[in-house]
């Protein structure tokens, strides 16, 4: 596919310093003030000031300048205003108010990793101490995010957002939660973007790939040992996408997810999008989601901040 990766996101928050500390603890590498890199994806998170928390920009990687021309043409047919520079194309989605930038970018290269050896019923192929357990105190201090996998954002006009991302930018639909949320991809990952119906435009969460379930647990232990109030929801496994998950709250109120074992869609012809309903769509097992995950506690504050009384 012409699109092949998430390059990164920019988030706006009212408390920049506290939020930067959280993402340092999340174990992203701060390469410059407010700029964070993952192990395989490079600089994929920027934190800037905004009066209320919000998703400012999503950056997508494409293969060639021809792909940028195609995006310009597609957005033009939708009567969407486009900014074009020599290296990128940007436009604003009317449903989420997020600026989406498409740039020519190298593919994310992730070294093939052998499956983690686990003992299971009737399976005795692992001998000795489990190799995935931390062998030192340094290894036990958290997870190492490999890449930004996806971002979830609320849209006040889901139909417009769907048209923008699918027909304009060139994302593909993977699955749908009936009438509420749409899983889209710009890579072989099951989803890189989820647009959900909402009364206000807001960032729900960013999601970061780690190696396996042990990395999720180690990351959670490190984050929650420092501040237990960071816990939101987990440990569990989603049904749509199939990934293991654990969610945390940054100081601005955004959720951040460690995940592993997400479905991949290598051949579009072999994948059939489905329409899901109810909690079955959200998770296969784990604790039930808290009310704040489904409807963030600061929703009224966000609505007042983004639409102040005149």
Place 310 in a pLDDT band, splitting at 50, 70 and 90. Answer: very low
Whether 244 maps to a domain, the answer reads: yes
**CATH number, position 189:** 3.10.180.10
User: What is the residue-averaged pLDDT of the chain?
Assistant: 93
22-62 residue pLDDT tens: 999 999 999 999 999 999 999 999 999 999 999 999 999 99
Whether 172 maps to a domain, the answer reads: yes
| Stretch among 1-5, 50-54, 153-157, 252-256 having the lowest mean pLDDT | 1-5
Beta carbons within 8 Å of 201's beta carbon, 6+ residues apart: 54, 95, 96, 97, 98, 153, 154, 155, 156, 306
Find, among 25, 60, 32, the residue nearest to 47 by Cα. Answer: 32
Predicted local confidence at residue 163, as pLDDT: 97
SS3 call for 10: strand
Whether 154 maps to a domain, the answer reads: yes
Beta carbons within 8 Å of 179's beta carbon, 6+ residues apart: 197
Task: State the total domains in the chain.
Answer: 1
| Global confidence as pTM | 0.94
167-204 residue pLDDT tens: 999 999 999 999 899 999 999 999 999 999 999 999 99
Alpha-carbon span 2 to 10, nearest angstrom: 23
Strands 255-260 and 202-209: parallel
Tell me the β-bridge partners of 92.
99
Domain range enclosing 277: 3-106+143-299
């Amino acid at each position: 596919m012409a699109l092949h990766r998430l390059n990164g996101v920019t988030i706006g928050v009212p408390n920049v310093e506290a939020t930067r500390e959280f993402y340092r603890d999340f174990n992203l590498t701060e390469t410059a003030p407010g700029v964070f890199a993952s192990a395989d994806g490079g600089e994929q998170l920027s934190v800037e000031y905004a009066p209320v928390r919000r998703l400012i920009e999503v950056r997508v990687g494409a293969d060639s300048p021809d792909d940028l021309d195609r995006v310009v043409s597609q957005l033009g047919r939708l009567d969407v205003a486009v900014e074009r520079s020599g290296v990128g194309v940007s436009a604003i989605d009317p449903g989420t108010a997020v600026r989406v930038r498409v740039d020519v970018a190298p593919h994310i290269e992730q070294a093939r990793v052998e499956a983690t050896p686990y003992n299971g019923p009737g399976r005795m192929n692992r001998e000795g101490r489990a190799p995935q357990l931390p062998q030192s105190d340094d290894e036990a201090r958290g997870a190492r995010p490999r890449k930004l996998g996806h971002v979830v954002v609320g849209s006040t006009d889901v139909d417009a957002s769907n048209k923008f991302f699918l027909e304009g930018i060139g994302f593909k639909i993977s699955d749908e939660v009936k009438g509420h949320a749409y899983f889209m991809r710009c890579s072989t990952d099951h989803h890189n973007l989820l647009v959900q119906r909402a009364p206000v435009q807001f960032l729900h969460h960013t999601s970061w790939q780690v190696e396996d379930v042990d990395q999720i647990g180690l990351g959670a232990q490190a984050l929650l040992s420092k501040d237990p109030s960071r816990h939101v929801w987990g440990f569990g496994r989603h049904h749509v996408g199939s990934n293991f998950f654990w969610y945390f709250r940054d100081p601005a109120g955004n959720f951040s997810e460690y995940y592993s074992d997400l479905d991949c869609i290598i051949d579009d012809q072999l994948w059939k999008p489905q329409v899901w309903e109810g909690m079955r769509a959200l998770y296969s097992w784990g604790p039930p989601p808290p009310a704040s995950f489904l409807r963030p506690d600061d929703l009224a504050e966000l609505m007042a901040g983004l639409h102040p009384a005149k």
